[in-house]
Structure 1
Amino acid sequence: MAAARLSGHELSDLCLGKPPLRSLSVRDTVADALAALKRIDDTYVSVWNCNHSFIRKQQPQIKSQEQLQCCCTCIGKVCMVDIICFLSKPQNLSSPSAAFLSPISALLHDNSAVLVRHLPPTASLLEAIDVMHEGVQNLVIPIQIQFESLNSNNVHHNDNTTYCWLTQEDVFRYLLNSIGVFSPTPGNPINTLGVIDTQNLFAVCYDDPASSILDLLALSLLYQSSIAIVDPNGKFGGEISPVMLNSCDESVVPAIATLSAGDLTAYIDCGGPPEDLVQLVKERVKEKVEEQNLLELLGDETTGTGLTSWSSFSSSCSSDEEFCSGKNWKLGGYSARVGRRSEAIVCYRWSSLVAVMIQALAHRVSYVWVVEEDGTLTGIVTFQGMLKVFRDHLKSMC
């Protein structure tokens, strides 16, 4: 009975206190997306496609009138990792100014549209869990707020509708408040619940080029996971996390282009890049400029990004306090949105589901690595996998 009541809770209950969704138009550029991400506190910015059309309304005894109708739909989301991966592509490294002027659609994945879904605030929690089980990461929900608090970055449609979105993390925090409803399942070891994913396990070796992780980063965003760093024996040594990279900015691109995967983890650590790595990146950037005639780093003044060139990076970063320091423009400190170092969060096969769930929520990540006692990496547990357990339990009790 309690499970039935919980599954019937409306999504409006989860939207309480959620801020209006910041958005960009599909007609905006990569530079617009970068500027927007630097202005907001959220990890993602939503991308909308608005179709405007005039319809003729015929009313009795009144002259026909034309009225503008607007149909706006959220078609995806972008984050700093999307921009970093885009700028790190060889063709964009050689012409970053042009890359910044590319349409924002260049940042969207082929399946971006399936990662977001519009639902009404009256939809039930079970409905939300069902669509998230299908792979949806963000639910777009219309909300009511005071008119005077609206601005052009929040409003969609000609009726001043505004939205928030709900993530899988929001759903799990809500479920945690009623964890007793699911007893005894949350206390069971994860290896008995089928939530350990061994198929979508992304890993590289320490000495692999950091540039080789770009495709894996895109996949890790899709599966809401991360990239493990392992030694030749499969021992887990750390990770390159989208969470950490989302707290960096575009100045990390030269490090990705020149460092190894292992060195990159130290470069983006919340303590800031070590001096020796900063010098190494500067030297290798200079070599690339000489060998490939790359005269730009990531754009120019015409893009509105205020960035320097590849050549100036190698010669003007003597202070190492701004461009090369890895400082996070969102926190006013070093790169780590949640203020943690880059040590990965791990659990064991015998860890309980609720313990793993709390680990993920406490560290603001959507996954936990699974290792053996000797440190060998064996799998990963994601929100997506855990969600199936709660969904099956709710459906069996309703």
Structure 2
Amino acid sequence: MAESLLTQEISDLCLGKPALRSLPLTATVAEALSALKNFDDNFLSVWSCDHARKTITGFEADADENECKCVGKVSMVDVICYLCKDENLMCPSTALKAPLSVLLPKIPGLVTHAEPSASLLGAIDLILQGAQNLVVPINARLNSSSSRRKQQQKLLVTTNTPTTTHGGREFCWLTQEDIIRFLLSSIGLFSPLPALSINTLGIISTDIFTIDYHSPASSALGAISRCLTDHTSVAVVDGEEGILIGELSPFTLACCDETVAAAITTLSCGDLMAYIDCGGPPEDLVRIVMARLKQRGLEAMLKQFTNSTTSLVSLSSSSSSDEESGTPLNWSGKYSRSMSYSARLLRRAEAIVCYPKSSLVAVMIQAIAHRVNYAWVIEEDCSLIGIVTFCNMLKVFREHLEAMA
């Protein structure tokens, strides 16, 4: 029955998951930015490891894994929000030299270590207590080929290049999505719970972040940071009628590059959605961003970003000739990775939404299909009611088991 299912070890949920790429806590924001762009990872784990010091000083690097601890994770969204802070706008080059610790949220327990032998029930309890990611050792000890790879990585520790091993072990993330997927695979054991509506179950949360379509995008920075932590998103609405127009999704922003900070600083929420949509920003928005940066005396910010990626200045100055020749502009960063996702969000008919009468299992399937941890709840007229999250769903499954005991 369902009770025995949740005594299953979480190692079964980690089969086939890739090893975490990691950076030491001693790395800089610039090094994290480079790793996020070059290694195609949306998130990098951040570790405090004594064996990194031993490797640097020439001692044996095979420290006990207990000397290694994952203390957090960083994404492109963290870098973007950090660069948008008032104190960093005037001199982004100085901001990038700061230690990686400035990007980590000050909320304890967001990343928690768990053993492979821990039960699924225990993992759910950790998430309900506030853990957003569980760090689980990959059971198999390193084979000879991976041991050689670890030896090669010893030299990389000193340059803060992302590595995958700690104390001779590799680790992976266990997320809310992983657990929901696992429960969905055995959903029949929880009958009749899955067929009940989300309204009947009382899991529609009204504790959401909303912002008006015409509001400055910079006014949403705090909400974006919080939603990144909570695995949710900021709803962009029509201020008068509360109609859901789209969202500012940390998932989408994580697939962009650091130049989006310039857009957040200068554009409205509606324009920002267009800026990050469809593979790259429209040329007219590029011109607006440039003009407003110059008006505010933020040339250093523009120069810092254009030195490392395709220049917004070059794009703008060449836009007229490109239009005449019919040559498409080539955009930098990871826009292509977010193209289909962000485009779906901005088309209301295909937005990730559900209704109060939607069943629990239907919302689970919908969220998993779109690779998000939530679904917006709307009325028939598209007015926003609230949100249903994976965490809400896990509470229901946990309470169901307690009732059966």
Q: Distance in 2 between matches of 1:293 and 1:107?
A: 22
Other-structure match for 1:197: 205
The worse-fitting range, judged by mean Cα deviation, of 233-242 and 146-155 is 146-155
Write the deviation string for residues 53-103 of structure 1: whole angstroms up to 9, x where unpaired.
999xxxxxxxxxxx9666011111111111110011121111111111110
* Mapping 1:354-369, distance limit 5 Å: 354-369=361-376
Closer, same or farther: CA 244–368 of 1 in aligned 2, 3 Å: same
Write the deviation string for residues 288-341 of structure 1: whole angstroms up to 9, x where unpaired.
3xxx2533426389xxx8258xxx7445643469xx96946447x264475753
Q: Distance in 2 between matches of 1:177 and 1:53?
A: 40
Q: Sequence identity of aligned pairs in percent? A: 51
Closer, same or farther: CA 263–44 of 1 in aligned 2, 3 Å: same
Asked if 1:104 is matched to 2:100, the reply is: yes
What letter corresponds to residue 102 of structure 2 in structure 1? A
Q: Is the 8 A contact 2:228 2:250 kept in 1?
A: yes
* Mapping 1:23-62, distance limit 5 Å: 23-51=22-50
Other-structure match for 1:4: 3
Other-structure match for 2:110: 115
What letter corresponds to residue 299 of structure 2 in structure 1? L
What letter corresponds to residue 92 of structure 2 in structure 1? P
Other-structure match for 1:261: 269
SS of residue matched to 2:125: helix
Q: Relative to total residues, which structure has the larger helix share, 1 or 2?
A: 2
What letter corresponds to residue 179 of structure 2 in structure 1? V
Give the unaligned 5+ runs of structure 1. 56-66
Closer, same or farther: CA 271–280 of 1 in aligned 2, 3 Å: same
Q: Relative to total residues, which structure has the larger strand share, 1 or 2?
A: 1
Q: Is the 8 A contact 1:247 1:328 kept in 2?
A: no
Asked if 1:74 is matched to 2:73, the reply is: no
Asked if 1:385 is matched to 2:392, the reply is: yes
Write the deviation string for residues 170-195 of structure 1: whole angstroms up to 9, x where unpaired.
11111111010111111111011121
Closer, same or farther: CA 385–361 of 1 in aligned 2, 3 Å: same
Write the deviation string for residues 28-59 of structure 1: whole angstroms up to 9, x where unpaired.
0101111111233432110011235999xxxx
Other-structure match for 2:378: 371
Q: Is the 8 A contact 2:286 2:316 kept in 1?
A: no
Runs of 4+ in 1 over 6 A off after TM superposition: none
Closer, same or farther: CA 43–326 of 1 in aligned 2, 3 Å: farther
Q: Is the 8 A contact 1:121 1:142 kept in 2?
A: yes
Asked if 1:132 is matched to 2:130, the reply is: no
* Mapping 1:163-182, distance limit 5 Å: 163-182=171-190
What letter corresponds to residue 344 of structure 2 in structure 1? R
Q: Distance in 1 between matches of 2:305 and 2:75?
A: 21
Aligned residues: 371
Q: Distance in 1 between matches of 2:264 and 2:214?
A: 13
Closer, same or farther: CA 108–187 of 1 in aligned 2, 3 Å: same
Closer, same or farther: CA 356–161 of 1 in aligned 2, 3 Å: same
What letter corresponds to residue 35 of structure 2 in structure 1? A
Q: Distance in 1 between matches of 2:196 and 2:164?
A: 43
Q: Distance in 1 between matches of 2:342 and 2:219?
A: 27
Q: Is the 8 A contact 1:135 1:384 kept in 2?
A: no
Q: Distance in 1 between matches of 2:367 and 2:209?
A: 18
TM-score (norm 2): 0.85
The one of 83, 99, 105 equivalent to 1:87 is: 83
What letter corresponds to residue 143 of structure 2 in structure 1? Q
